[in-house]
Chain A
Amino acid sequence: MNKPLVIIEGDHFLRSKIDPKRYTLLDAESEDLMTDDLVDLPARTVVFDLTIGSADEKRQLLECLEDEKALVYSDLSTVWGEGFFENFRCLQGAFALGYQSPKNCYEFYSPKNASVIQEFLESAELKGLSVSTAGMGFHFPRMLAQIINEAYFALEDQLASAEDLDLALVHGVNYPKGPIDWSKGMGLRTTIYLLDELYSVTGDPRYRTSTKLRLEFLKSNR
């Protein structure tokens, strides 16, 4: 049996935790990722896709993996997971590692092969929590994206400083972290990708992204 393949970005928080003896690592930044690296993957190779991408980027990658007849477990924290499962037969399971958990515990969905994901998460010293649906951005990512978005709307309105917004939620309602701090820790693109997907799939204006969030994303480029 081939070693499972892990597709991961260089700055991913799990990068150093993936054991190269157990997994083949593939750099997601590699320019040839779609064309060369994945072509001629032996059929039924288990692939853990840890990339964080927009819905289009995810679709492209999964189409490529589908062509190669891979068995894919993918990070679907920023996309409409439920819809992806309908579209891609290669998908065996999904997880939501894109949104930093203060308890090192992450949601996953895999009705058939839960143990594969469970084992993978354990090998990376994380806890997994099996959930009933990958929904749209699972549960925690979707809730947090909305909390973060509102914090950026508040910045846009000059309601308070970023520090005071964070302090207020930590000390007024016992949040484990302030939303601005949280968003920066995991990179702003995660939130933008998910909000864009929520908005595009539902058409509901409650998912409109704050301009301030987009602007900060352009500035930080992550």
Chain B
Amino acid sequence: MIHSAVVLGAGTMGSGIAQWLAQAGVKVELADANLSVATEAHKRILLSWKALLEKGKFTPEQVKTFEDNLFPIETSDCKKDSDLLIEAIIENLDVKKQVFHELDLLMHEKTIFASNTSSFQITTLASRLPLKRQKRFLGLHFFNPATLMKLVEVVRARETEESLAKNLAAWFKSQGKVPALCQDSPGFIVNRLARNFYGESLRLAGMSADENRLKEIDTIMREVGGFKMGPFELMDLIGLDINYQVSTSVWEAFHREPRFQPHRLQASLVDAGLLGRKTKQGFYRYE
């Protein structure tokens, strides 16, 4: 179903998505606000394939095919009748809307438009485009690292053709991904349903943030719950600022529904610049 794609935004997600698509046999063009970013991302992907080849994960023939599938380009030079366009640029509503408006004028009407946004409604992103485009516009929410994480949330916006979402989901499945079809609602599935893993653990800990208490909760969630990581070690890894920002955005989008209310402890650590592993201190200290 998908033979060619354009990925716009060559950051963490865009380059992961482009790499995965190339591995799935799709001809992918990778673009960014300026060509050098796409070229650098392209180099990193080539190095990653080289490393995977050395580890024996792929054969030389496979890697050769992958390499032939991936091209860094200037956005204006992209194949105008690509099957799919995935936007993975900076999380800014106005910028995304403007970019989609320009792409709509540039691309063939058959091209499917998708956004990898985590926090905006797909319907909002598509709202100013012609109805014809809106019918072929959906959310494709990948998880980091996109080459390894199997889930793709396939999000139907208000006008998205049902068959389009279903067919794309079937295509992802045929390529080894695990698609989950969902409605266009704040946080989609994961960022909404996983909120309580963080929110409830913070209520269990209370304001004291006593390290022994946090360790106890983390240990219980691993040893009893069978989760790979406890909530506090996971928040430290994700970054408290990012986690807090997602919590706040879901809470606001649900009109401050109490179930999603962020916790004061989170806010106070973020305000103090204790963001987790990246600042060497969050809920825990790291040497």
Contact = CB atoms under 8 A, between A and B. Distances in A.
Interface string A4-35: 00000000000000000000000000000000
Interface stretch (B3-11, B45-53, B184-192): B184-192
A29 B225 CA distance: 29
Given A140-B220, A143-B204, A176 B226 contact: yes
B223 A139 contact: no
Interface string B193-228: 111110111001000000001001101110111111
Interface string B224-238: 111110010000000
If over half of A's interface residues share one DSSP class (helix, strand or loop), that class is named, otherwise mixed; here it is mixed
Interface stretch (A53-61, A62-70, A163-171): A163-171
B183 A147 contact: no
B193 A164 contact: no
B62 to A, nearest CB: 24
B193 A168 contact: yes
A117 interface: no
A142 B220 CA distance: 12
A221 interface: no
A149 B199 CA distance: 13
A173 interface: yes
Contacts of B227: 174-176
A157 B185 contact: yes
Interface stretch (B97-105, B131-139, B149-157): B149-157
Contacts of B195: 150
Interface string B140-152: 0001000001110
A131 B217 CA distance: 9
B220 A147 contact: no
B118 to A, nearest CB: 12
Given A132-B216, A142-B200, A147-B197, A172 B224 contact: no
A158 B201 CA distance: 27
A179 B227 CA distance: 13
A168 B169 CA distance: 13
Contacts of A177: 226
Contact of B190 (A131, A169, A208): A169
Contact of A139 (B197, B199, B217): B217
B226 A172 contact: no
B158 to A, nearest CB: 14
Given A129-B220, A129-B223, A153-B259, A143 B189 contact: no
Given A160-B182, A161-B181, A169 B194 contact: yes
Nearest to B143: A172
Interface in A100-130: 101-103, 105-107, 127, 129
Contacts of B216: 131-132, 139
| Residue among A139, A142, A154 with the highest chain B CB neighbour number at 10 A | A139
Contacts of B183: 157-160
B210 to A, nearest CB: 10
A42 B192 CA distance: 52
A204 interface: yes
B219 A143 contact: no
A107 B183 CA distance: 37
A72 B197 CA distance: 32
A50 B220 CA distance: 21
A219 interface: no
B192 A154 contact: yes
Contacts of A101: 224-226
A151 interface: yes
Given A150-B259, A154-B192, A103 B220 contact: no
B35 interface: no
B127 interface: no
Contacts of A175: 227
5 contacts: A103-B226, A147-B194, A150-B195, A171-B149, A206-B199
